[in-house]
Structure 1
Amino acid sequence: MDVQEVVRAYTGSKRRLVVLGYNATLTTSVEAPERQFEQVKALAKVNPRVMQSVCELCTDPANVVVIFSGSETSKLDEVFGHLPVWLAAENGVYVRPPAKAASGPAGAGRGADGGGGGGERGAAGAQPSPAAPQWKCVFDTVHCEWMESVQLVFDYFCERTPRSFVEARETSLVWNYKYADVEFGRIQARDLLQHLWTGPISNAPVEIIQGGKSVEPSPL
């Protein structure tokens, strides 16, 4: 992608939709194959300079910023919940509208200009903090009956594939082999897909999301 062309298109547009990935896009890469998955996930942080750039994008009224991720809702709330951005968790199964900034006290500062009780009037007229935006599921019903049998298949392939691991989410499971031998991991991934399509998800309302080094059945 031509960076200069992107800059020209950005500066020349009046309205912009900016969709950003989270894992491995806004986060720092963690190469720690000897660690457990939960430890690796805890080490993955958003670089402060990257977060500052996201904040600057949010301040432009011409921008609508969306953070799209396979992560769970609680993780996105923790990292981006204070920002006026749209959040999409678990690959779009759950969405959350932007947070709104709290209004300052009505009449703030008037007490300092003189007039007894000005500060008290400001406190009494303080605007309540807006309620936190709520997550909504894009499906009327999410069928997850298939997850238990898929977990058994994933556990089997974890035993066969050293340094692979499973990430359990509310509506999906991810088998990840990013720390395994690359070629062996790819062979195992192909074998895993055959097991899934002919077994636990053969008749389930599920799609397979194939990442660079991961396999994720997700509800349709």
Structure 2
Amino acid sequence: MRLRNKPWAAALIQAHPELIMVNPSQMAGKWQQRFPKKQPLELELGSGKGKFILEKAQQNPQTNFIAMEIQTAALGMILKQQVELQLPNLQLLQANGRELVNLFSPNEIQKLYLNFSDPWPKTRHTKRRLTAPNFLEQYQTILSPQGEIEFKTDNQGLFEYSLCSCNNFGLEFDDVFLNLHHSERAANNITTEYEDKFSKKGQPIYFLAAHFKD
């Protein structure tokens, strides 16, 4: 969902090149240089307003994180908080998810988070879904061996599609939950803005974790 324009966001992004990169052309294989410490690198594709990734970075200082988002308004909201928090293990990236193999080297990412992605319900838009085979092929390239994908959605249709797509592509499922908030992962689950909104309405949150076979 597109956010309302934030007139201040573009200027804030330009003012903090140390915290955010905009369409980097030569960063593949060099992302660890953006962090004080070389640590496992995890990526959230489509970070929205940043609630999930900010909490994830705060709770896991032993891991480096990249919040990737295309919308300037959304990135501005994440960056505004990061300017205050100055989390050393979090970098922001403005780029399109279709370009992942140009942004990251093979095996560079240890875990990928897909949280409440656009469901693109129309059949002609299938290739835009972030669990479509054309995206899974990119994930397989950038993820390290046994690197994991975690996917959350409130959309049953997208979840069913994702299960079939991942299975047909040859991924192995580590966890599948039809109601994440009533599962064994609930205690350590970090929510997103959308997740809070939908769960308060009684909507079950669907979840899968999977990895590519050797």
TM over 0.5, yes or no? no
Hey, which of these two has a bigger chunk of strand by percent?
2
Q: TM-score, normalised by structure 1?
A: 0.28
